[in-house]
């Protein structure tokens, strides 16, 4: 997922991160003091949230959306009481596997289901299959920790070589050429990648493959295939390493960079000027995405190699993956209620200040209509 870097945003992020990981979501009922009534189907006077169902919802997956999910759960829990949601940020790969094993009501993934995964989902979606519901987007920031360097520009070929151990020092000629006038130290580059299967890795390597003009020889995927480097678990793990390790560089959602005060790379995309990792620049790129899923599936194709002015191309869209048919009767009402809130204008705008790019209005509307049809 997008941030304007200012103190107000940092304060909001800090507040969102204070919400615990195993969060309680309540559906039905209200803490609102306006006198609105609780009960199934009710809503707060100040919110569009409509609470349905009861019981416990289990979900897991994308760590990229964790900060957004924390805030969504907090807001939803302020309106609703009878449903508890436990979202575990296990990484996209693990989340998809738990969904395919029937352990969760839905999964969060930064990559759409592969054809084989969609076919496998028919085993847990009685009479249907898993579908991809885009829910929030944003930039994958490239964070760096180079003493004495506050601003850094890189391009796709240079990033590909850095993360494939082809460039190993910060004063390499390729980096110097992109940063005239910047004093770059002869410090060893410490490149960190994800140790877990990750949709963030998938999207980052799709960018390298699409935009690096052959400098990235590996196929994109959730599992890291680059040479060398060091690994850490989750977006929180790699961002923590960048913050702590001199000479470090890694990729993670912009909200993690903002929360940790990590400097981020501007990208030379071939446009007239380098492009910073911000919400608005990510939105410019995501607006070029096209729906490529069929039927109720809303999988998107992103423009990783865009050269449009102000378009930040290392973006991801996080999907909530649910059954189109065959959802468990006990959790279906609350699942639909929660996903409807996430895709609402209220839900989308809430997470912009955390550094996430809201979905284009047309796509968000399609998501809401599709959620209504889940059965």
For each of the domains in the chain, give its residue range(s) and CATH number, in order of start.
Answer: 7-137+321-372 (3.40.190.10), 140-284 (3.40.190.10)
Picking from 135, 110, 139, the residue whose alpha carbon sits closest to that of residue 281 is: 139
Q: What is the CB neighbour count within 10 angstroms for residue 182?
A: 16
Q: Where are the alpha helices (DSSP H) in the chain?
A: 7-17, 66-79, 92-100, 115-120, 156-163, 173-178, 199-211, 234-244, 254-260, 279-286, 332-343, 345-350, 361-372
Instruction: State the number of CA atoms in the 13 A half-sphere of 87 facing the CB.
Output: 30
pTM metric for this prediction: 0.75
What pLDDT score was predicted for residue 36?
32
Structure confidence at residue 173 (pLDDT): 98
Q: 144: which strand partners?
A: 249, 263
- Closest by Cα among 366, 299, 357 to 339: 366
Mean per-residue pLDDT pooled into runs of 10, the chain (375 residues): 39 37 33 32 59 90 92 88 88 95 96 96 97 95 98 98 98 98 98 94 96 96 95 95 98 91 97 95 91 95 94 95 96 96 95 88 95 98
Q: Left, alpha or beta for 74 (phi > 0: left; psi -120 to 50: alpha)?
A: alpha
The pair of three-digit structure tokens given for residue 67, joined into one six-digit string: 């900060």
Residue 46: its pLDDT value, please? 53
Q: Which residues pair with 320 in a beta bridge?
A: 108, 133
Q: Across-strand partners of 4?
A: none
CA angle, 4 then 70 then 291, to 5°: 70
One-character DSSP codes across 136-172: EEEEEEEEEE-TT----EEEHHHHHHHHTTS--BTT-
**DSSP conformation letters of 112-145:** PPPHHHHHHGGGTSTTS-EEEEEEEEEEEEEEEE
pLDDT at residue number 42: 38
Other beta carbons less than 10 A from residue 283's beta carbon: 23
Residue 59 phi, psi (nearest 5): -145, 155
Residue 80 is predicted with a pLDDT of 86
Structure confidence at residue 121 (pLDDT): 98
């Amino acid at each position: 997922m997008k941030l304007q870097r200012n103190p107000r945003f940092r304060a909001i992020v800090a507040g969102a991160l204070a919400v615990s990981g195993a969060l309680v979501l309540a559906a039905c009922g209200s803490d609102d003091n306006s006198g609105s009534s609780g009960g199934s189907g009710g809503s707060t006077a100040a919110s569009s949230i409509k609470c349905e169902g009861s019981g416990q919802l289990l979900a897991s997956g994308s760590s990229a959306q964790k900060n957004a999910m924390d805030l969504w759960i907090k807001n939803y829990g302020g309106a609703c009481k009878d449903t508890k949601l436990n979202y575990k940020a296990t990484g996209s790969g693990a989340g998809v596997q738990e969904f395919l094993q029937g352990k969760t009501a839905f999964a969060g993934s930064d990559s759409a289901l592969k054809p084989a995964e969609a076919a496998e989902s028919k085993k847990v979606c009685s009479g249907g299959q898993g579908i991809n519901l885009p829910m929030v987007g944003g930039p994958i920031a490239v964070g760096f920790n180079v003493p004495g360097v506050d601003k850094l520009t890189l391009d796709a070929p240079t990033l590909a070589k850095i993360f494939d151990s082809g460039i190993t020092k910060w004063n390499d000629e390729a980096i110097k050429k992109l940063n005239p006038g910047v004093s770059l130290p002869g410090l060893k580059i410490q490149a960190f990648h994800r140790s877990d299967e990750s949709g963030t890795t998938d999207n980052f390597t799709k960018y390298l493959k699409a935009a690096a003009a052959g400098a990235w020889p590996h196929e994109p995927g959730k599992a890291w295939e680059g040479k060398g480097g060091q690994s850490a678990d989750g977006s929180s793990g790699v961002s923590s390493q960048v913050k702590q390790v001199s000479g470090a560089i890694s990729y993670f959602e912009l909200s993690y960079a903002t929360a940790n005060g990590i400097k981020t790379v501007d990208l030379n995309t071939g446009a007239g000027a380098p492009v910073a990792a911000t919400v608005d620049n990510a939105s410019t790129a995501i607006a070029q995405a096209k729906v490529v899923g069929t039927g109720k599936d809303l999988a998107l194709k992103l423009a990783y190699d865009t050269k449009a002015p102000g378009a930040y191309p290392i973006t991801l869209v996080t999907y909530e993956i649910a059954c189109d048919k065959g959802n468990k009767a006990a959790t279906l009402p609350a699942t639909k209620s929660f996903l409807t809130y996430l895709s609402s204008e209220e839900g989308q705008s809430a997470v912009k200040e955390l550094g996430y790019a809201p979905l284009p209005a047309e796509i968000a509307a399609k998501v809401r209509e599709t959620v209504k049809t889940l059965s």
